[in-house]
Amino acid sequence: MTDQVALGAPVPDFSGAMTGGTEFQLQNYRGRKLVLYFYPKDNTPGCTTESMHFRDLYPQFQERGAEIFGISRDSIASHDNFKGKLELPFELISDPDEKLCNLFEVMKVKNMYGKKVRGVERSTFVIDASGNLVKEWRGVKVPGHIDEVLEFVGSLA
């Protein structure tokens, strides 16, 4: 596996434990567009709002041939709780060892109440049906973002 993804290039195959008791394997989704959104933590205000908006627009993503996966460092137990509480129709991938966070380079040092902390920078990536990374948003602000992702996914062949 290469050290990180690059815009316009094939995404190296990766796997990870996900809700529903299954394993995510990128190669199993060839032929479908994928939206991967990395978020800092289950059950926090921004992450809840973002996940609910993806949930609400999920049927429109499906109509455009796209599947959505949320990714954070939280455990499967935490993800199962978060998914159930918000009634998310898509799976969440657990990345406690930061393997995927490092692949997509979303780990950043942030300022939290004057303290430097290492955490996930809210980011979204779109992989096309051929497995290439075709769009990335980093340092995402939630308002309006999911609509922008949906519009981009709809523009893909």
Burial 44-61 (b: 16+ CB within 10 A, else e): eeebbebbebbbebbeeb
Structure tokens at 152: 């981009």
Half-sphere exposure of 125 (CA within 13 A, CB side): 25
Q: Which of the following is catalytic: 11, 35, 47, 127?
A: 47
101 is catalytic: no
CA pseudo-torsion sign 78, 81, 87, 89: positive
Which pair of structure tokens corresponds to residue 56? 């609400």
Query: Cα-Cα-Cα-Cα dihedral of 87, 93, 98, 99, to 10°?
Result: -160
Which are the catalytic amino acids?
A: 47
